[in-house]
Amino acid sequence: MRIAVVGASGRMGKALIAAILDTDGATLSGAIEREGAAALGQDAGSLVGQPSMGIALTDDPLPVFAASDAVLDFTAPEATLHYAELAAQARIVHVIGTTGMSEDDDQKLNAAARHAAIIKSGNMSLGVNLLAVLVKQAAKALSADFDIEVLEMHHKAKVDAPSGTALLLGESAADGRGLNLQEDGVFTRHGITGPRPEGAIGFATMRGGSVVGDHSVLFAGPAERITLSHHAEDRSLFARGAVKAALWGYGKKPGRYTMQDVLGLADSN
């Protein structure tokens, strides 16, 4: 399967190129960066410490998409919307890891998904997607006097908060409890906040250093506390998940899919 990478010189872009090179049945069909990026013209292989492979980073996605079966996209919301239009035109699988997208952005992705398969998740790892299933089960099993709080920590360069993973876990908790995260999520606290509203799902965000991604969901009850956690040690786990998603998506009907579909966890949810 021919797979292209956009945002190729980013932290995830490099991990994605390395994962494609490491996967049987996958070949790198192109590496795209935005106009003016310092890495343009550099060889994709040497960018990730491998032998040169004759694929130079380009700012022209059209010929690359035309010669690809899928594109892996861990960039930024405005870039992802642009690439979604191009992937839809080329009828190729679009695997989206970009976080921080709005409801409005999501509607635009729905339009693109009428023409091609889109697989999008705030976290492409098996561990987090399994954690989401467990969080939903715990939220369902525990009575409402177990308060739910989602904690996350990431490296200091991360630009969106809470993380896509924290929101995914919050959604799972809300589903399990029969709550609505839009209405019941508490995303900031400062000053005299008053007591915790009943049925709230709270979020706490930490940023610093080089943390790849730590997430915990706490269920704080009367005299006891349950914590479900995931710690990402390396970006390669997200990249491997994204390549797996592309291989899974090949030949699928146009539409929206998630990592839960790819990993066969959707039924346990």
Ligand X SMILES: NC(=O)C1=CN([C@@H]2O[C@H](COP(=O)(O)OP(=O)(O)OC[C@H]3O[C@@H](n4cnc5c(N)ncnc54)[C@H](OP(=O)(O)O)[C@@H]3O)[C@@H](O)[C@H]2O)C=CC1
Ligand Y SMILES: O=C(O)C1=N[C@H](C(=O)O)C[C@H](O)C1
Instruction: Decide: helix, strand or coil at residue 225.
Output: strand
DSSP code string of 35-75: TT-TTTTSBHHHHTTS---S-B-BS-HHHHHHT-SEEEE-S
Q: How far is the CB of 64 from ligand Y (least distance, A)?
A: 24
Q: Calculate Rg over the CA atoms of the chain.
A: 19
Task: Using CB under 6 A, pick the residue from 74, 219, 248, 257 that binds ligand X.
Answer: 74
- What element of type H or E holds 77? helix 77-90
Catalytic pick from 14, 120, 136, 158?
158
Please say which residue, 55 or 239, places its beta carbon nearer to ligand Y: 239
Do 20 and 26 form a contact (C-beta atoms < 8 A)? yes
Of the residues 86, 124, 151, 167, which one makes contact with ligand X according to CB under 6 A:
124
What minimum distance in Å lies between the beta carbon of 98 and ligand Y?
A: 9
What is the spatial distance between Cα 217 and Cα 266, in angstroms, rounded to a whole number? 20
Annotated catalytic residue, options 154, 215, 230, 244: 154
What separation, in Å, do the N-terminal and C-terminal C-alpha atoms of the chain show? 30
Asked if residue 75 binds ligand X (CB under 6 A), the reply is yes
3-class DSSP assignment, residue 209: coil
Q: CA 160 to CA 266: how far, in whole Å? A: 26
Q: Which does residue 260 touch among ligand X, ligand Y, none (CB within 5 to 8 A, set by kind)?
A: none
d(CA 264, CA 260): 6
| Residue 74, contacted partner among ligand Y, ligand X, none, CB below 5-8 A by kind | ligand X
Closest CA to 57 of 115, 2, 6, 117: 6
Residue 10 binds ligand X (CB under 6 A): yes
Q: Is 155 among the catalytic positions? A: no
To the query of whether residue 94 is one of the catalytic residues in this protein, the response is no
Compare residues 184 and 261 and give the one whose CB is closer to ligand X.
Answer: 261
Cβ-based nearer residue to ligand Y, 9 or 163? 163
**76 touching ligand X, by CB under 6 A:** yes
The contact set with ligand Y (CB under 6 A) reads 99, 122-123, 154, 158, 163-165, 213, 232
Residue 78 touching ligand X (CB under 6 A): yes
The pattern of x and - marking residues 91 through 110 that bind ligand X according to CB under 6 A reads: ------xxxx----------
To ligand Y, the closest distance from the beta carbon of 190 in angstroms equals: 22
Instruction: State CA 221 to chain mean position distance.
Output: 30
Q: Which amino acid is located at 194 in the chain?
A: G
Residue 161's binding partner among ligand X, ligand Y, none (Cβ under 5 to 8 angstroms by kind) is none
Which are the catalytic amino acids? 154, 158
